[in-house]
Each structure stands twice: as structure tokens, then as C-alpha cells.
Chains A and B, each alone.
Chain A
Amino acid sequence: MNTETLNKPHVILDRLQLAALAGLMFLGAMFVFSATMASESAAAVPWFKQFWFHQIIWYVLGIGAGAAICLVDYRTLSRWSFVIYWAMIIFLVAVLVPGIGTVHGGARRWINLPFFQFQPSEFAKLAFILAMSHFLSRPADELKQRENFWKGICLMLLPFVLILKEPDLGSALVLVPTGVVMMFVAGTPRSYLLKLGAGVGILGVIFLADILFAPRALQLPMQEYQRQRLLVYFGASFADAKATPEQKAEARRVQAERSYQVNQAMIGVGSGGLLGKGWRQGSQTALGFLPSGAAHNDFIFSVIAEEEGFVGSILVLTLYAVVLFTGLRIAGQARDRLGKLVAVGVVTLIFSHVFVNIGMNIRIVPVTGIPLPLLSYGGSSVLCSLIALGLMQNVHIHRKGY
């Protein structure tokens, strides 16, 4: 039995997952091209300066980084996880300092590097998964201690608060399901998790009630645009109940403006129909209804759905499903709890991104600016996704029975 296994040609990598990833990257390049090449002025830019080409470069770099990660055993990497975690925390603090972090669209999320706008929150997700899996991989008995439960929560809350401060609600929120699922899989007692869930649920309800119904004076301190995004999602009026007619009219105007992107994204998705309009035939970006700044990153799914229709949407979902379920298989086959937790963390993170981003395009979830892994344009996101997937392959390489 043993010899038989040893003599087998070793399947080092999970090929099915790699194929799905290749498919996603191909789609990503194709539709970043489609979303950005619609206008004549964009097409006039030399090819090496165009978004689609940059995206391909990021794919290549990301694949390189992911491959590099695979060279070192994840158990070795894990020993450094807290160093990486704290380094990331330092970056997250740094990005909040006005001289270091740069502001785009009202949020201070980026650190300018010579070739690259570095987005610490993306890398923080990765660092968080590493640190959390390292922390949770201790013997299951230790997890039953209340103290360790709270330590885990704090591990999650620290980056959560810092990212929320940027503000980047979406990136902060995806940490929660990732952390919770990891804790669950690690074997944290169910009672703790239920209490946590109940706590989060109550907080969430209070939070929403506060935003939707409370008078201005009693509302939580929050960025106005985030409040408005939530109001748009719930279809609530921007104006106070006591507002004058002028204020109400103004609020309606602002509301129309705020709802614009999501409405346009939805028109794009919906008008794609069953079969779509064909690659580069979508009119929402070409005519500028879907703002060109958003089409190739947060709303790339709208472009795909418009041009390839329901069939295209299902293709995208299928590719993600393959990645996620092979990821779970990797988790199941991992040689130790650490590997399992890393894989589960990565998979949950990707799932959260996919669900929130696509859900946002069809208005199931409120607009939160988070990218669609590997499809959205953006160096940090592509790089992090590929490194995370590299980690998962790493777990696969060192799996059980090998």
C-alpha cells in the first residue's frame, strides 16, 4: 500500500483548481480590456500603458509570487505569521497617516510606491489568515478556554477596526466571516460561536436601525457616503423626517446620484439577458453610463454579465465554485490543522469577496467597494489573491499521504 503510493507519479498541484484559475484570469484580462477600451481616447493610449496589459503583468507577477510561496513549506511560513501580521498592522496604521497614505474617492487606502499603489488592506487579509490559522492550530482543548477565544476575536478586531478607519467597510467586513469560519473549523466550542453570532447579529440590527431610523443627533459617527450607500440599498430616504421640502428635494437628488452606479450596473447585468450582447458589445460602459472608473474594477461583473449574459454569469460562478470546492478538498486533505485552517481561511475569503461583489451588482447586498478576485482590475487584489491561492496549493503539495 505504502510502496504503491510512493511509486505513483506525484500529483503535486491541484490541476483542476489551476485550470479554473487560468480561466478566471483569462476572463479577467478579456473583460478589463472590454471595459476600458470602449472609448476612442482610451484606445489611443499605447498598448503597454493600457489596463488590460497591466492586469496581465499583475497576473504574471502574482503567479510568480504564488509559485514562490509554494517553494517554502507552509509550516515554515507559519512560524513567521505573527511577524507578518504585526508588520501589516504597522502598514495599516501608516496608511492612516496623511503624509503616507493617499486619498482616492474620500478613502485613505493606498500607499504610493514608485510603480505601484500598495493597498495594505488587501495584504492584511492575507496576513490575518496566516496569523489566525497559526493561532487556531493549537490543540483543540486550548481553544475551549475563554481566554483563547477572546484572543482570537482580538486578532480579528485589530485589522478590522484599522481598515474600517480608512474607511473601507467592505474589506473590513469580509474579515469577519473569514475569522468566524476559521474558528468554527478549528473546533472552537459551538456555544462561543453562537454567542458571538448573536452578539454580532444584535450589533448589526442596532447599527442598521440607527442608520435607518434614528434622528441625526443619535447616529453613529460614520462616513456620510457609507450611510448613504446603506440607505440606497434599503431604499430609505436620505432626508430627515423633519426636513423642509427643499432639503427633501436635495436629498432626492443626492440619492439619485448615489444610486446611479448600482442602478447602471444592474441595467447592465439585466440587459445582458440570457446570452448577452457579445464581447465588447455592451453599451453601458461604451456610452459612459457605467462610470469608466468603476467598470473595470468593482463593477467588472456587470460588464461580463452584460456582454455574456446569464450564461457568462454562470460560467464565472462555476469557475469560482471549482476554486472554492477544490479549496475545501485541499482543506480536507491537509496533513495538519494548520494547513486545513489556511485553506479554509483562503476559501472563505474568496467566497466572501465573490458573494459580496456579485451580490452588489444585482443589489442583493449594499454597495461596498470590494474587488472580485482575479477579475477586477487592481495590482494589490490580484497579487493577494494569487499569493493566497499559492498558499493553498502549498497546503495541497504537503498534504496527507505524501
Chain B
Amino acid sequence: MLIVDEIKKNDPHLRLVALMFAFGFCVLIAGLWWVQVVSARKYQSHLETQAYRSVRIPSLRGKIFDREGRVLAENRPRYNLSLYLGDLRRQFDAAYDQLHKAAIQNQKQTIAAREKELGRSLTKAERKQFALTGDQLEQLRQQARQLVAGGAVAQVGRELGQPIAFDPVKFERQYRTRLALPYTVINNASPALLARYEEGSAAIPGVDVELQSIRDYPLGGTTAHLLGYVLRDDNSKEGEEAYFDYYLPDYRGVTGVEGSFDSLLRGQAGGGSVLVNSVGYRQSENILDAPEAGHNLVLTIDLDLQNAAAASFTAHQGEDARGAVVVMDVRTGDVLALVSSPAYDPDYYVGGLSAAEFQAETAFLSNTNLRPQINRATYENYAPGSIFKTVVAIAALEHGLDTNEIYHVQANPERPGRGIFYLGKRAIRDTAPPGDYNFQRAFIHSSNSYFITNGLRAGAENILRIGEKFHLGERTGLLPHQETGGHFPTQERVESSNWRAGDTANLCIGQGEIAVTPVQIAVMVSAIANGGKVLWPRIVERIEPQDPASGEAATNFPAGLVRDNLDVHPRTLSILRQAMLADVQSSEGTGIAAAVNGMQICAKTGTAEVQDAHNRDISQNFWFASFAPYENPKYAVVVMVEGGLHGSGGLDCAPIAHDIYAAILAKEKKATPQTVAKQ
């Protein structure tokens, strides 16, 4: 180094000074190296935490379609009128300046008044008492911004011709905790309101239209239990980045298809960042990690049948009737319709209701008698009653029951025209009239005496074996979070010492230690219809990417997955099917009300008694378990109604099944020419 060399040969004083400078520079360089290179990351993260606010950006929830591509659930834009606080910042400051000036003026006047009072000028210390404290100044700031924000809200109200309430507390909270996000003035503005706003007052500073995505169910209550509902939940699901400063509104599926397939529908939320200045106002935004849209679901549901089932149920039983309908494709296990009544309004959960509607719906939802939130098709245990006789019939036939063997039903001395059965000392009523019965007649009259006798003959073990093949007492896996497996006794239970013949007798008529769901019964009927294949029911046909251009292939859920095989003699099932056909077609049949011209329907009706703790009958469940057509079974229709003490499966459920079969028939007729054309 030239310069240093020159200094070297000069006097030692200067050399020492030069060394001192060099040392000083070395210290600075070392310090800068430490701060800027070694600890750079630390300071960068300091900078980020103070200047960036991370925002969770929810993904677009997938749509839900029926099997023919008709929309069951989609996203609808919702418009909010919002106040963008950053744009109001100057006005906040201006208002504060004014208030501050006024306060100073006021302060001067008080001092002047005080001086007049005392007749002398105040000392410094005395003046200090009148000075504005920091708290007072902060209060002025708060007052100023509330004045400005309240003014803007009032102005919007004037423009729109409707007063809008301004909540200073809510505003203050927003200001303190979410300054970078807009403050909502009007939630869910109607199109008329928006139009008026855009026409008149688009110039109100700081006010703008904010877009939000809201879940929409075009069919409302008809698909309520099937689809379930979503709830506002901005939190991250598993596997997503979990910590954000701000969360934009997001929804989580809670029940039904929305709940069971939530992670598929929901997609992957993304993250963005908002750059804020030292006061916290928004400076700019950018998206760091784009959200991944959720998948569309194509359900196995046929909207026509779903509509028919829901409409018919309501028409026959009323809005508030409790019950369920399941329509299933017996060949594939596809659920074509799934109705639970009473149905709630899914808009209740996404905030689409007016205040009055909301209140009414809240009262309705909390009705402990109706319990509208229960999906009765999958999530409630019911005694099957006489429809379980199909299982007993299979067990008895497999055990060698001679269908032509005549069985005599005794007359009930207390109820003329009805039968009775004595098991030891216990009398069991039989709705079938006294007389002689072969298998088919006993089946269509649903004779308790006949089935108890033959059930006992076959033995509880054999009945259980068949029930196990149907996987009674186990979940079908249709809606994983919203399903009960019902109840079915185990072999151990039957072999145990406290299992008595009376228990078997109860089981034979579908009472006692047995509980099922309508979906289980639909699977059971399907197995009887399709020759013994116990299927896994399916409700989602396939998953598709929301953006067809994404190139991602659709994933099909396999149809007709066989869970188990009945392994019974084909003759057994054919006898049973014949008996079920007769139940609808013969003039004596209990299911005659279901009969439809042009379709041979096979069915078993049931009426299960519901008893309270003291074994008193308090109500009844009516069942209608059916399939059609007889020759080439395609559809299983299960109708269940929670009724009072009067009624029966034939009276209450069969007419609903009738309507559904009529709808199926109408649909098939309409579809036939198209199929021909295709071929």
C-alpha cells in the first residue's frame, strides 16, 4: 500500500495514529461483518416480523354434483361493503389535528380563565397541570378515527337510503388487531344494494366492495342431510402451515358429504403476505404460496330420485315428520337418494338467513323431539321389527324349512281376529289372524307366531350367522363421521347363560337386542335382490379436479365392492323374493300401497315398537324395505318413519315407496329412447 508505506518512513507519531485508525476500521469492519453477514438472517427475520403480516388464503372449495352432473353444492360470491382503513389514514390524521387544535384552544381558555380568577399569570408548574397527557392524546386519536369511520359508514347509509349501525367497539377491535384487513360495513349486500351503491357513492373514500366466497346449496333442505353443512373455520387443517397473523374466512365441512370428504373438497390453503408500515397500515400484498383448489365430487345420487323421495316424504308425512329414505342401486351399492327428515336449512350455517329466519331456525334446530340435526338414514339406531323376518326366513330356509308346511296360529282371546303365541308363560301378540299358514302367507301377514316358531327351530346361532353376513351391527362406511353401526348380538352373547329363548323370540320379530339404520337395511335388501352379494355402499362416484384444464385425471371410487357373500342356496333367496313380491302384489299383502303399474315390486313391511324404560310402548317405527323389479332387480327403496302408536309400514311407508318407484319408472321411460339412439 502506497499510502501506508509513505507513512511508515515518516515519524513514529503519525505511524501510531495511522495504526489507531487502521484498528478502528478493523473494529468497524468486524462489527459490520457480524451484523450484516453473520447475523443477517436474524435481522431479516426481525424485519419480516415487524413489516410482514402473513395471511392464510383459503382455497376454493370443490363443487358437488349428482351422478348426472347437476349441481348440489357450489360456491356463490357474496359481496360485502367494506371500509379500507389504510385509505382513511390521512382523514384520521386530519380529524385528529382538528380535535387536537380544539383541545389546545380549550386548554388555553381554561388557563386564561384560571389566570383571571387568580389575577396573576400561572407559574410553569401550574400550567403543567393543564397539559394534555399521552392518554388524552391517544383518546383524541381514537375519537378522531371513530368520527371518520362512523362518518363514512353514515354516508354509505345515506347513499343507500338505509341507516347502517356503526359499532365503535368492533371498529376499534378491527383497528387494533387487523388494521391491514378491511372493516365490513354491510355483510352480504343484496344486488339491488350493490347497484345503488355503485351508481351513487362509489366516490366515498375508503369504502369499497369486497368479495367473499360462500357455500351455496341450491336444493336447500332436500339435500341437507346428504350434503351436510360447512362451518366458518379459518384454522389450518393437518399438514398445512399453521401460523398466520391473519386468516381469511374459510369453511370446514362438518357433516354429511361435506364433512366426510372435507379434506378432498377443501383443497390446500395458501399463504400470502401483507407488507405493513410502522403503524400497521397495509402497504402492499403478494401471494407467496397459491392455494390449491379443492376437488369436485360427483356423487352417486340421482337428483330426480332425491327430489322425489324428499317431496313424497313431506307430502305424505308432513314437514316435521321424522324418518328417512334410502334408494340404492342393488347391483352396485350406489346410493341414489338419501333423505332424512326433518331437514334443516343449510344456509343457517353460512350466514345466509335474515335475523328472524335465523331465530326460527335456531329454535327448530334445538327441538329435542325433532332433533333435525340427526341424519336418520345413517346416524340413528332403530329396531327393525318385521323387516328382520327376511333374515329369519333365510336362516329358517337354510335350516330346512318346508315352505308348504302348515302352521296354525292360535286365536288371541282378548283381541278377536288376531293371533297369539305363547312362549312358556309369555304371550306374544300376533297381528296375523288365527288360521293356517304356509311360508308365503306367514310372510305377507308377517306372522310373529310363525317366524318365532321357525326361528327358534333354526336357532339363534343360525340367525346370527346370516345377520353377520349382512354385517348388521357394523358400519357401512358410507359417511364415516356420521354413522352408527346399529346393534347386533354376538355369538358369545347368544351362548352366554343369560340369553334366553325369549331373547331369540324377540330377535325373530326384530325387537329386543337389535338396532339397524336405514342404510344397513338398504344394503341388506340389495343383497337379497342381487343374489347374495353384500356390498359396500358408495356415495361418491368420482373425484374430479376443479379446473378441467389442470390435466389431473379424475379418480373413480370403485362401484359394487363386495363386502361379503351370503353363501346361501339360490333357492332360499328366490323363495324369499317371491314372498316379498307377494307382499306387494297379493291382495292380502301389507305393502300393497307401494304397487306401481309396470314394475314388479318386492317388499317387506315392518312396525317396530319403541319402548320406554318401563317396557311400555311409547311409539313405533314403520319400515318398508323393498326392491324392484322382481325379474331383474335394480333398485332398493327403504323407507322408515318414526311414527306414533297408530300406523304401520304398509300405511305410512309404502305410499312413499310408491312415489319413488313411479319416479324411477318415469325416468326409465324417458331414458329409454336415448339409450336406443346411442346404440
Chain A residues within CB distance 8 Å of chain B:
16, 181, 184-185, 187, 266-267, 269-274, 283-284, 286-289, 305, 309-310, 313-314, 317, 320-322, 324-326, 328-329, 331-333, 340, 344, 347-348, 351, 354-355, 358-359, 362, 364
In the complex, which residues of chain A have a beta carbon less than 8 angstroms from the beta carbon of B14? 185, 328, 331-332, 340, 344
CB distance from A14 to the nearest CB of B (A): 10
A317:B35 contact, CB within 8 angstroms = no
In the complex, which residues of chain A have a beta carbon less than 8 angstroms from the beta carbon of B32? 269, 305, 310, 313-314, 317, 358, 362
In the complex, which residues of chain B have a beta carbon less than 8 angstroms from the beta carbon of A286? 277, 283
B50:A289 contact, CB within 8 angstroms = yes
**B27 within 8 Å of A by Cβ?**
yes
Given contacts A310-B33, A313-B36, contact A328 B51 (CB under 8 A): no
B44:A328 contact, CB within 8 angstroms = no
CB distance from A188 to the nearest CB of B (A): 10
Contact of A271 among B7, B24, B43 (CB under 8 A): B43
In the A-B complex, list the 9 residue pairs whose CB atoms are closest, starting with the nearest.
Answer: A270-B43, A288-B278, A332-B10, A273-B40, A287-B277, A310-B36, A325-B3, A271-B47, A271-B43
A305, A321, A329: which has the most chain B beta carbons within 10 Å? A329
In the complex, which residues of chain B have a beta carbon less than 8 angstroms from the beta carbon of A314? 29, 32
Given contacts A272-B36, A325-B7, contact A355 B24 (CB under 8 A): yes
Return the chain B residue nearest A291 by Cβ: B278
CB distance from A151 to the nearest CB of B (A): 20
In the complex, which residues of chain B have a beta carbon less than 8 angstroms from the beta carbon of A16? 3
Return the chain B residue nearest A283 by Cβ: B51
A287 to B86 Cα, complex, angstroms: 13
B51:A287 contact, CB within 8 angstroms = yes
In the complex, which residues of chain B have a beta carbon less than 8 angstroms from the beta carbon of A274? 36-37, 40
A267:B47 contact, CB within 8 angstroms = yes
**B549 within 8 Å of A by Cβ?**
no
A320 to B21 Cα, complex, angstroms: 11
In the complex, which residues of chain B have a beta carbon less than 8 angstroms from the beta carbon of A347? 17, 21
**B28 within 8 Å of A by Cβ?**
yes
In the complex, which residues of chain A have a beta carbon less than 8 angstroms from the beta carbon of B51? 283, 287, 289
**B39 within 8 Å of A by Cβ?**
yes
Return the chain A residue nearest B49 by Cβ: A267
CB-CB contacts below 8 Å: B269-293 with A: 275-279, 283
A326:B3 contact, CB within 8 angstroms = yes
In the complex, which residues of chain B have a beta carbon less than 8 angstroms from the beta carbon of A309? 36
Contact of A332 among B7, B35, B44, B279 (CB under 8 A): B7
A273:B36 contact, CB within 8 angstroms = yes
A272 to B17 Cα, complex, angstroms: 32
A320 to B25 Cα, complex, angstroms: 10
A351 to B40 Cα, complex, angstroms: 26
Return the chain B residue nearest A41 by Cβ: B90
B35:A270 contact, CB within 8 angstroms = yes
A348 to B279 Cα, complex, angstroms: 41
Bits for B587-601, please: 1 = Cβ < 8 Å to A, else 0.
Answer: 000000000000000
In the complex, which residues of chain B have a beta carbon less than 8 angstroms from the beta carbon of A267? 43, 46-47, 50
B3, B34, B39: which has the most chain A beta carbons within 10 Å? B3
A271:B28 contact, CB within 8 angstroms = no
B278:A287 contact, CB within 8 angstroms = yes
User: What are 11 sample pairs from A and B whose C-beta atoms fall under 8 A apart?
Assistant: A266-B43, A273-B40, A273-B44, A274-B37, A283-B47, A287-B277, A289-B278, A325-B21, A344-B14, A347-B21, A362-B31
B42:A185 contact, CB within 8 angstroms = no
**B195 within 8 Å of A by Cβ?**
no
Contact of A305 among B18, B36, B277, B283 (CB under 8 A): B36
A283 to B275 Cα, complex, angstroms: 10
B46:A270 contact, CB within 8 angstroms = yes
CB distance from B12 to the nearest CB of A (A): 10
In the complex, which residues of chain B have a beta carbon less than 8 angstroms from the beta carbon of A273? 36-37, 40, 44
Given contacts A185-B13, A283-B47, A287-B283, contact A310 B278 (CB under 8 A): no
A364:B40 contact, CB within 8 angstroms = no
Return the chain B residue nearest A312 by Cβ: B36
A262 to B7 Cα, complex, angstroms: 37
A317 to B29 Cα, complex, angstroms: 8
Q: 17 more A-B contacts (CB under 8 A) besides A321-B25, A344-B17, A347-B17?
A: A181-B17, A181-B20, A267-B47, A269-B43, A270-B36, A270-B46, A286-B283, A288-B277, A310-B37, A313-B36, A314-B32, A326-B3, A331-B14, A340-B14, A359-B28, A362-B34, A364-B28
In the complex, which residues of chain A have a beta carbon less than 8 angstroms from the beta carbon of B552? none
B50:A317 contact, CB within 8 angstroms = no
CB distance from B54 to the nearest CB of A (A): 16
A120 to B257 Cα, complex, angstroms: 80
In the complex, which residues of chain B have a beta carbon less than 8 angstroms from the beta carbon of A289? 50-51, 277-278
CB distance from A372 to the nearest CB of B (A): 12
CB distance from A350 to the nearest CB of B (A): 10
Given contacts A270-B46, A274-B40, A364-B31, contact A287 B276 (CB under 8 A): yes
A351 to B18 Cα, complex, angstroms: 11
**B402 within 8 Å of A by Cβ?**
no
CB-CB contacts below 8 Å: B332-377 with A: none
Given contacts A267-B50, A270-B44, contact A325 B28 (CB under 8 A): no
Contact of B39 among A270, A284, A288 (CB under 8 A): A270
In the complex, which residues of chain A have a beta carbon less than 8 angstroms from the beta carbon of B277? 286-289
Contact of A355 among B11, B18, B28, B47 (CB under 8 A): B28
A127 to B598 Cα, complex, angstroms: 118
Contact of B40 among A185, A271, A324 (CB under 8 A): A271
In the complex, which residues of chain B have a beta carbon less than 8 angstroms from the beta carbon of A269? 32, 35-36, 43
A174 to B506 Cα, complex, angstroms: 105
In the complex, which residues of chain A have a beta carbon less than 8 angstroms from the beta carbon of B42? 270
A320 to B28 Cα, complex, angstroms: 12
Bits for B308-347, please: 1 = Cβ < 8 Å to A, else 0.
Answer: 0000000000000000000000000000000000000000
A255 to B350 Cα, complex, angstroms: 47
In the complex, which residues of chain A have a beta carbon less than 8 angstroms from the beta carbon of B21? 321, 324-325, 328, 347, 351
A266:B35 contact, CB within 8 angstroms = yes
In the complex, which residues of chain A have a beta carbon less than 8 angstroms from the beta carbon of B113? none
CB distance from A309 to the nearest CB of B (A): 6
A8 to B10 Cα, complex, angstroms: 23
In the complex, which residues of chain B have a beta carbon less than 8 angstroms from the beta carbon of A283? 47, 51, 275
B40:A287 contact, CB within 8 angstroms = no
Return the chain A residue nearest B28 by Cβ: A358
Given contacts A270-B35, A273-B40, A329-B7, contact A364 B46 (CB under 8 A): no
In the complex, which residues of chain A have a beta carbon less than 8 angstroms from the beta carbon of B492? none
B13:A187 contact, CB within 8 angstroms = yes
CB distance from A198 to the nearest CB of B (A): 18
A271 to B44 Cα, complex, angstroms: 4
A154 to B25 Cα, complex, angstroms: 30
**B6 within 8 Å of A by Cβ?**
yes
Return the chain A residue nearest B45 by Cβ: A271
A187 to B47 Cα, complex, angstroms: 50
In the complex, which residues of chain A have a beta carbon less than 8 angstroms from the beta carbon of B278? 287-289
CB-CB contacts below 8 Å: B82-130 with A: none
In the complex, which residues of chain B have a beta carbon less than 8 angstroms from the beta carbon of A362? 28, 31-32, 34-35
Return the chain B residue nearest A311 by Cβ: B36
Bits for B247-284, please: 1 = Cβ < 8 Å to A, else 0.
Answer: 00000000000000000000000000001111100010
A283 to B39 Cα, complex, angstroms: 18
In the complex, which residues of chain A have a beta carbon less than 8 angstroms from the beta carbon of B35? 266, 269-270, 362
CB distance from B93 to the nearest CB of A (A): 11
A146 to B51 Cα, complex, angstroms: 59
B47:A284 contact, CB within 8 angstroms = yes
A332:B283 contact, CB within 8 angstroms = no
In the complex, which residues of chain B have a beta carbon less than 8 angstroms from the beta carbon of A326? 3
CB distance from B214 to the nearest CB of A (A): 34
CB-CB contacts below 8 Å: B132-166 with A: none
A269 to B42 Cα, complex, angstroms: 11
CB distance from A100 to the nearest CB of B (A): 21
Return the chain B residue nearest A301 by Cβ: B32
A187 to B14 Cα, complex, angstroms: 11
A317:B43 contact, CB within 8 angstroms = no
